[in-house]
Amino acid sequence: MAAAAIGASHLVASTRAGAEYGWQLAWLVLAVNLVKYPFFAAGARYTAATGESLLHGYQRQGKGYLVLFSLLNSVAAVASTAGVCMLTAALLTQFVPLSIDILAALVLVSSLLLLIIGHYKWLDSITKIIMFTLTLTTLIAVVLAWAHQWGQPQITSTADAWQWANVGFLVAMMGWMPAPIEVSTWNSVWLLEKQKSQSINAKQAVFDFNLGYVTTAILALVFLALGALVMHGSGEQFSDSGSQFANQLISLYSQVMGEHSRYLIATVALLCIFSTTVTVIDGYSRTLNLAWQLLNKSADSSLRLNSIMLFISLLGLGLILFFKGALLPLLEFVMILAFMTTVIFAWLNFRLMTSKHLPKHHRYGPNMVRLSWLGLIYFIGFSSIFIFWYLTKL
């Protein structure tokens, strides 16, 4: 889950928040990770307790709930695929002098081939190494930047993050922080697959999830620190252009680690986001395929799964072409869309974790229920503010 989450939300949203507003949004990053926790945890806790996925749970509560999930999941699948694919293509421009649209098409074709032919297992096996390398280099960059600023006059923030005009950015940042909530269903399906090869009790499943979740929250702050320490106060802002943004992102590292590290960082970041792209296509497609099976009481079909992957990828490419290489506007659109659907995905998981068909000792206790209600109020509140903000702009 950590590998799937550490993508655009960290490399783009957290880093941009630090670069533009310094440390002002650090508490918001922690807050949104906290209020999303019970809805993400449902994936591990429900599956460990029942031996079935969240999608089975939605269906148990009524066919309409699974249909609602599937409709929203379909929209999220196309938008998220487009977002991570364009970010991958943007990083690829550091190595290949082609347009971002052509590179995005190549990224999608490569991802589909890896998934369909089955070589994704090879990529998946080195994901932990890729993530560890990216994490280590980011930590080193932050430590070096902090050491460089030690004793220097502190930069006073030149921009107020809490201005009314910034509502869109704040909502976008929270949309994928640490990931869209529907990723909880992927975690549920992955846990089922893992249980086929080894015995995992509920306590171990929750521990594994908590470790991954806390890691993503801490790393979000680390990426924010990188932007705050290196770019904040420089007068430079991230470009909307995908290729220019990628160049600026890699420069954050090379400014403190040396120009010799530029292509190493670019390679690691590229592999990280490419892995995320493949994971996103795989995760959304598998949950949509499973939902189809449950709704139609049909058998599993590799042909149907591959068709779903192809359909999502083609629609995602269409969305990329529509934005014409403008990476940040596309990601902002996708992240805002994710936040606006968050309350529904969260409500589905909360309803499941407090339902009567779940054994009482596995249901959420008073503290988790309170945190869940706090989260739902939080999502509804910010969604309402965003809608009002958007309407006043028209």
Q: Using one digit for the tens of pLDDT, what is the confidence trace for 231-267? A: 887 777 888 888 898 888 898 888 888 888 888 888 8
316 pLDDT band, cuts 50/70/90, is: very high
Contact 308, 288 (CB under 8 A): yes
96, part of any domain: yes
Instruction: Write down the pTM of the prediction.
Output: 0.91
Confidence class of residue 313 from pLDDT cuts 50, 70 and 90?
very high
pLDDT value, residue 119? 61
Residue 46 resides in a domain: yes
For 139-158, the pLDDT digits (tens) are 888 888 888 776 565 555 56
Helix (H, G, I), strand (E, B) or coil at 126: coil
For every residue of 216-239, DSSP letters joined together read HHHHHHHHHHHHHHHTTTSS----
Confidence of residue 383 (pLDDT cuts 50, 70, 90): very high
**pLDDT tens-digit series, residues 194-221:** 777 777 777 888 888 898 899 889 989 9
Cβ burial of 150 (10 Å; 0-12, 13-18, 19+) is: exposed
pLDDT value of position 158: 64
Radius of gyration in angstroms for the set of CA atoms belonging to the chain, rounded to a whole number: 20
Residue 354 lies in a domain: yes
Q: Is the model's pLDDT at 8 over the cut of 90?
A: no
At 286, which CATH number? 1.20.1740.10
User: What is residue 6's DSSP assignment?
Assistant: S
316 vs 144, higher pLDDT: 316
- Residue 92, domain member (yes or no): yes
User: Is residue 153 one of the residues assigned to a domain?
Assistant: no
Residue with more model confidence, 8 or 251: 251
Let me know if residue 154 belongs to a domain. Answer: no
- Domain range for 385 is 2-148+159-393
Q: Does a structural domain hold residue 256?
A: yes
Structural domain tally of the chain?
1
CB 276 within 8 Å of CB 3:
yes
Cα gap 100→90, rounded to integer Å: 6
Does residue 230 lie within any of the structural domains?
yes
